[in-house]
Amino acid sequence: MVDMFTKYFTMNRILIGSMIFSFLFQSCAQQSDVQEKNKSEHKKVEQPEVKKEYTLGDFLKEDAQLDADVDRVFASLDDTAIVAQLIMPAVGRLGNTEPVIKDMIKKRIIGGVLMLNGTKEEFTNWIKGFEALNDSIGNLPFMYSADAEPSLVNRKITGSKTVKKANELKSIDEVKEVADIISKDLNEIGINYNFSPVVDMSPNKTVGFRSFGAVPANIIPWSDAFIQQTQSHNIVATAKHFPGHGLVTGDTHHSLQVIDGELKEIGNYPKLIENGVLSIMIAHIAVKNNPKYDTKGLPASTSETIVTKLLREEYGFKGLIVTDAMNMGGVASIPQCEVKAVNAGVDIVLMPVNSAKAHAQILDKYRKDPEFKMKVDAAAKRVIRMKIALGLL
């Protein structure tokens, strides 16, 4: 009798144990499934309401309400989306394809797109598609950029209205007229960020024909006129290539170029900054034999000395700082070049060789390095501020 009881008790204990194990296993499996689903899916976040309408001219103003709106939008983002604001790949010939950009949008790793080489119709349709996808996911709207310089726009955007090249213009009135023509095309396409004008001097054959430097005295007033006309059309203008590409002999597309000694072209920038240019592009040019601004063999685009100490602190520039394309020979071979550029103080890394890798590397350092995190947060807030000023939010 005792044996039968013991046998019965043992069998029930085994049965109960089996049921408990099965329950726990199923619960763990379900929890794992949920975790995996959460990793692959991002719940759409409704963007905070911006309290009032702003204009592009508000970006540089002291405005407590704008500050508060920027902070409110920023607080709605997770770290993946914060880092994404700093990354701007290209689409079109010599850039990524439309499906690749859409995949990046779904992964939430980019905050804008350069419309590199294509037709006016293509760019218009792509931008509409990208923004529809952003809206469905809950991403912030993008800034869309172009190299719409007078000398390049008709090659970069097929179907754009024909204009004279920069070195062919004869008067400041022609400069204003060309800026108006280009800007109207960009408005129609949906491009709100123009990487123009070139404010370099003319001796360098790569950039010389693209600047107003045929008459050196024209560079500052004509560049300023182009900037003011562009920004009057609700498009961010960009002075480039800081600290100066006009007096080096080579081409940064192919290799790192070097300014040996004095920075002879930085004098082209203070007046443009004073008059409100909203963006400046940093060149992949090293500086040597200059005790104050030596970049220690690295391009200016990765140098805190040039980006932060010179441009931000000495010149007091408060707008967006964007790198020249990060796939260029003057910078692409440097390990973690995008991380170095952000650490130097840039707001936007343009055309990384691999945008997903750049995002991952920046995000990894962001999560580990409090000082670097502060730099990324400040850059993301400047990008958000510009998006609000453009009326995108």
pLDDT band at 296 (very low <50, low <70, confident <90, very high): very high
For the chain, how are helix, strand and coil distributed in percent, rounded to 5?
50, 15, 35
d(CA 354, CA 256) in angstroms, rounded, equals 20
pLDDT class of 323 with cuts at 50, 70, 90 = very high
Q: What angle do CA 100, 75, 73 make, to 5 degrees?
A: 70
Mean pLDDT, to the nearest integer, of 256-267? Answer: 94
Contact 203, 247 (CB under 8 A): yes
Cα angle 146, 150, 153; round to 5: 40
Name the token pair of 294. 């030596």
pLDDT at 50: 84
Burial class (CB in 10 A: 0-12, 13-18, 19+), 138: middle
Question: Does residue 71 carry a pLDDT above 60?
Answer: yes
Question: How high is the pLDDT of residue 43?
Answer: 65
- Residue of 224, 247, 230 whose CA lies nearest to 195: 230
- With a cut of 70, say whether residue 137 has pLDDT above it: yes
Lowest-confidence range among 14-23, 42-51, 153-162, 270-279? Answer: 14-23
How far apart CA 365 and CA 360 sit, in angstroms, is 9
Mean pLDDT score across all residues of the chain? 90
Query: From CA 253, how far away is CA 19, in angstroms rounded?
Result: 67
Q: Count Cβ atoms within 10 A of the Cβ of residue 277 and give its class: 0-12 exposed, 13-18 middle, 19 or more buried.
A: buried
Token pair, residue 193, equals 């960020």
Of 9-23, 112-126, 157-171, 173-187, the one with minimum mean pLDDT is 9-23
Report the range out of 176-185, 239-248, 253-262 with the highest average pLDDT.
176-185
pLDDT of residue 45: 65
Task: Read off the tokens for 38.
Answer: 């959460």
Count of Cβ atoms closer than 10 Å to residue 5 Cβ:
9
Q: Which of 46-55, 103-112, 141-150, 200-209 has the lowest mean pLDDT?
A: 46-55
- The stretch 362-376 carries a mean pLDDT of 98
* pLDDT(16) > 60: no
- State how far the Cα of 311 lies from the Cα of 302, in Å rounded to an integer: 13
Query: Of 257, 284, 264, whose CA–CA distance to 216 is shortest?
Result: 264
